Structure 1
Amino acid sequence: MRKTATAQSGGTIPAQPGPLEATDSARRGADADEQSGPHSEIVSAEGDMGGASMPSASDADAVILGAGPTVRPGERATVRLRDAGPDDPPRYAPEWLELREGADAAARAHDLLDPLRIRLANLPARSGGLVIHDIGCGTGSMGRWLAPHLDGPQHWVLHDRDPYLLHFAAVASPRSSADGSRVTVETRRGDVGRLTRDALQGASLVTASALLDVLTVEEIGALAAACAGAGCPALLTLSVAGRVELTPSDPLDDEIAEAFNAHQRRSGLLGPDAITVAAEAFSEHGATVQVQPSPWKLGPGESALTAQWLRGWVGAAVEQRPELRERADRYLTERLAACQAGELRVVVHHSDLLALCRPTGGAS
């Protein structure tokens, strides 16, 4: 199912149903797509929670469904790249994506914007302006951040496997670019592993947020090949770097971090190795690659996000190493109390990548 829409609101995610309603909505959308013909599916990839949460009885009600809990042993419920059917729930709860949007926007590497603008300014002029593909768009936070930083008319093609999140992304898209030009959106469902040069024909730019670390080597290779084949640059932000700093520190910090990183790498996913693999993959296709840090810096003003991140981070570590559970339970309780008291600060390291692929069709 493809639909085209002109953005009607700028930056505000509309009122959201609860988790059960979200699941029903996604199933209805999937059923409708099944009836209209075959469709590939794309992961909604805007979360680095690690796929598991471990709330204690006292804080279980505060956990946002879709931000991390697993539902089947060995399966990452929030990120499943293939073989997903209409009975699967949404990959990420809109509430989690909304919660992290401010931290994402503050973290993204602004130093990559100037070289990107220079490349886009050298593209052949098109009456419709820039065509930007947002892969794994979630609720569309990447577009809300990037569109106002770029001049000229823009048409965003929003890709996600979850029709429920695609709805949010379309409705909450920005209305205008940096110079006041019109921004329009189109939504598609598809699998990042099947993204091809033909699918990106005419693209000016490919973007993604928190996507690379939930891909495999093969999937990153396919993404790099598709961008290189289409001759379009790629701005891929907020890939987890595998490093976390908590203040004040705790003796268990490093052990939890190591277990979390191992959880990120299970089943062939790249986790914190993704940024290096992606840089190499794009370079092999002749792209000029720049990588910049994009850390979340979470303090008392971001306590709600910090608490949710903590639950997912510790929960993923315990899923990877169940023997940590007793100590991790105490650790999580203490960390959440410090967070609530405004005494905890966290830096979650990420990396942003800009790949300037060799243009095709005579562009410079």
Structure 2
Amino acid sequence: MIPGAGPVGRPGERSSGRPDEGPCAEGGADRATVRLRENGPDDPPRYAPEWLRLREGADAAARAHELLDPLRVRLAEPLARPDGMVVHDVGCGTGSMGRWLAPLLDGAQHWILYDRDPYLLHFAAAGAPHSAADGSRITVETRRGDIARLTPDALEGASLVTASALLDVLTAEEAGALAAACAGAGCPALLTLSVAGRVDLTPAHPLDAELTEAFNDHQRRDGLLGPDAATVAADAFTAHGATVRLHPSPWLLGPADAALTAQWLRGWVGAAVEQRPELRERADRYLTERLAACAAGELRVVVHHHDLLALCRPNGGAS
């Protein structure tokens, strides 16, 4: 699952865009490059690697480095595995979380990458880093699966659970199960880039607030957490005795990010219109204006997210 700050923010919503479109080409919001078409109704959603590569730099710049020091302290505790860390990366997509985090941590690491899509797992394994911050070896294995399979037994021996842009496409029950699994295994969790439900566009436009509200409603459809994800997950981890830290991790998009901004705009507006079809006529004009400003280097966007670090009590942790 790779939504979060992505154009649509949920699996199974929208087909990929045309590959020959320019980064700021005018067009409908249905052209967001979010996922590949499925072969059939039972196939898992397939997110386009092009979109994931497009957002990887902005994701890396946004993630909260302030959470790394307390995480390093925990990972260096005496109870840590002598043969190195075992990191479970849930909903790994093309592996951007590992490419960001693994080289920032010392020590040997074995990453277990989970995703529903074997196509993305291939990219994740092929692009995995080989060396930790201190030159120690990094190894990788892949497992096809999703959040429903992440149990305390599955996490036995885990040093850390990570995910990026995942929490907002979970239900409260799924977020609770994730917290329970981490608590049961006594391992910390670093869960980054959950949408916060706020965007700031410069220059401002009268329709910004209405589109934001519609998009947030779209994110909450079918019981998904959407912009409530970080708060709900924090409460779930706290209920299991974890120490939880939340930190802002906004995308800061300017003229140098025109390709990403244009794709984000198409998906953001498209989801808002899908939620409130009566917005379509005004939203089409809005999108045309915003894409023109993007192409001219005149648009700046802040997409707000939260990163969450949950330090669960070691060894399962009841007090």
TM-score normalised by length of structure 1: 0.79
* Aligned CA distance change for structure 1 residues 263 and 61 (closer, same or farther; 3 Å): closer
What displacement does 1:321 show? 0.2
1:59 and 2:17 matched: no
Cα distance between partner residues in 2 of 1:166 and 1:231: 26
Match of 2:309 in 1: 354
Q: Against the structure 1 CA distance between its residues 58 and 272, is the aligned structure 2 distance closer, same or farther, given a 3 Å change threshold?
A: closer
TM-aligned CA deviation for residue 45 of structure 1: 4.9
SS in 2 for 1:159: strand
Deviation for aligned residue 1:190:
1.4
How high is the sequence identity, in percent, across the aligned residues? 74
- With over 3 angstroms needed to count, the CA separation of the structure-2 counterparts of 1:171 and 1:235, relative to structure 1, is same
Q: Deviations over 1:271-294 (max 9, x none)?
A: 000100000000000000000000
Aligned to 1:234: 189
Q: Tell me, yes or no, if structure 1 residue 48 matches structure 2 residue 9.
A: no
Pick the aligned partner of 1:211 from 166, 171, 191. 166
Q: Is contact 2:80–2:159 with CA below 8 Å preserved after alignment?
A: no
Q: 1:293 to 1:201 in 2, by over 3 A?
A: same
1:15 aligns with none
Paired residue type of 2:27: D
Q: Identify the match of residue 91 of structure 2 among 115, 122, 136.
A: 136
Structure 1 residues 276 and 303: alpha-carbon distance in aligned structure 2, compared to 1, 3 A threshold:
same
Q: SS of 1:126's equivalent?
A: coil
Check whether the contact 2:26–2:288 (CA below 8 A) recurs between aligned residues. Answer: no
Deviations 1:63-88 (A, max 9, x none): 45435x9x8xxxxx9xxxxxx73x34
| Conservation of the 8 A alpha-carbon contact between 2:191 and 2:307 | yes
Does structure 1 residue 343 correspond to structure 2 residue 283?
Answer: no
Q: Deviations over 1:193-224 (max 9, x none)?
A: 23100000000000000000000000000000
Match of residue 97 from structure 1: 52
The one-letter code matched in structure 1 to 2:6 is: D
Q: Give, as a single letter, the amino acid of the residue that structure 2 aligns with 1:295.
A: P
For 1:109, the equivalent position in structure 2 comes to 64
Cα displacement string for residues 160-201 of structure 1 (whole angstroms, at most 9, x for unaligned residues): 000000000000001100000000000001120231000000
User: Which residue of structure 2 aligns with residue 310 of structure 1?
Assistant: 265
Number of the residue aligned with 1:119: 74
Q: Distance in 2 between matches of 1:250 and 1:180?
A: 49
Structure 1 alignment gaps of length 5 or more: 1-42, 72-76, 78-83
- State how far apart, in whole Å, the 1-side matches of 2:44 and 2:89 are: 22
Q: Measure how far apart 1:143 and its partner are.
A: 0.2
CA distance in structure 1 between the aligned counterparts of 2:44 and 2:316, rounded to whole angstroms: 41
After superposition, the C-alpha distances for 1:244-274 in whole angstroms (9 at most, x for unaligned) are: 0000000000000000000000000010001
Deviation at 1:132, TM superposition (A): 0.3
- Do the aligned residues in 2 keep the contact of 1:129 with 1:154 (CA within 8 Å)? yes
TM-score where L is the length of structure 2: 0.90
Q: Distance in 1 between matches of 2:295 and 2:228?
A: 32
Matches within 5 A, 1:265-304: 265-304=220-259
Secondary structure of the 1:292 match is strand
Q: Alpha-carbon deviation of 1:48? A: 3.1
1:164 aligns with 2:132: no
1:49 CA displacement: 1.9
Aligned to 2:179: 224
Query: Quick one: which amino acid aligns to residue 291 of structure 1?
Result: L
Match of 1:232, as an amino acid? C
Partner of 2:219: 264
Q: Hey, what does 1:325 align to over in structure 2?
A: 280
SS at match of 1:335: helix
Deviations 1:34-61 (A, max 9, x none): xxxxxxxxx4556532256799995369
Q: Which of 80, 92, 104 is the equivalent residue of 1:149?
A: 104
Verify the 8 A CA contact 1:138 1:160 in the aligned structure 2. Answer: yes
Q: CA RMSD in A?
A: 2.4
- Local SS of the residue matching 1:200: coil
d(CA) in 2 for partners of 1:264 and 1:329? 20
Aligned residue for 1:198, secondary structure, equals coil
- How many residue pairs get matched? 306
